Chain A
Amino acid sequence: MNEITKHAPAPAPTSSAACSVPLAAPIAVLAELTHRCPLQCPYCSNPLMLEKANVELKTEDWQRVFTEAAALGVLQVHFSGGEPTLRTDLAALVKHANGLGLYTNLITSGVLLDAKKLAALVDAGLDHVQLSFQDSEAENANRIGHYKGGHEKKVAVAALIRAAGLPLTMNAVVHRQNLDHLAEIIALADKIDASRLEVAHVQYYGWALKNRAALMPTRAQLDRATAMVDAARIRLKGRLVIDYVVPDYYAKRPKKCMDGWGRHFFNVSPAGKVLPCHAAESIDGLKFDSVRERSVEWIWANSEAFNRFRGTDWMPEPCRSCDRRELDFGGCRCQAFALTGSAGNTDPACELSSNHQAMFEAALADAASGEPNYVYRRIGGA
Chain B
Amino acid sequence: MEPIKVGATSRIVLPRHVKLKHDTVRDRWILLAPERVLNPDETSLEIVRMLDGVCSVGDIVGTLAVKYNAPSEVILVDVIGMLQDLCDKGFLVSAETVATHAGRTS
**Are B99 and A6 in contact (CB-based, < 8 A)?**
no
**Are B3 and A238 in contact (CB-based, < 8 A)?**
yes
Could you tell me which residues of chain A, from 17 to 75, have a CB within 8 Å of some CB in chain B?
25, 27-28, 71-73, 75
- Map CB proximity to A onto B29-63 as digits: 1 under 8 Å, 0 otherwise: 01111111111110010000000000000000000
A303 to B12, CA, bound (A): 45
Our count of residue pairs bridging A and B at CB distance below 8 angstroms stands at: 89
- Map CB proximity to B onto A187-211 as digits: 1 under 8 Å, 0 otherwise: 0000001011000000000000000
A101 to B20, CA, bound (A): 11
**Are B36 and A101 in contact (CB-based, < 8 A)?**
no
Q: How many residues of B contact A (CB 8 A)?
A: 32
**Are A105 and B26 in contact (CB-based, < 8 A)?**
no
**Are B32 and A238 in contact (CB-based, < 8 A)?**
no
CB distance from A14 to the nearest CB of B (A): 19
A5 near B: Cβ within 8 Å?
A: yes
| Chain B positions near chain A (C-beta within 8 angstroms) | 1-4, 15-17, 19, 21, 23, 25-26, 30-41, 44, 86-90, 99, 106
CB distance from B78 to the nearest CB of A (A): 13
Contacts known (A73-B25, A167-B16, A196-B90); A130 close to B34, Cβ less than 8 A: yes
A288 near B: Cβ within 8 Å?
A: no
**Are B26 and A127 in contact (CB-based, < 8 A)?**
no
**Are B2 and A5 in contact (CB-based, < 8 A)?**
no
B residues less than 8 Å from A76 (CB atoms): 32, 35, 37
| Chain A positions near chain B (C-beta within 8 angstroms) | 1-7, 25, 27-28, 71-73, 75-76, 101, 103, 105, 127-128, 130, 165-167, 169, 193, 195-196, 237-241, 243
Q: Which residue of A lies closest to B99 (CB)?
A: A165
CB distance from A264 to the nearest CB of B (A): 9
**Are A4 and B38 in contact (CB-based, < 8 A)?**
yes
**Are A238 and B88 in contact (CB-based, < 8 A)?**
yes
Contacts known (A72-B25, A73-B26, A103-B32); A193 close to B1, Cβ less than 8 A: yes
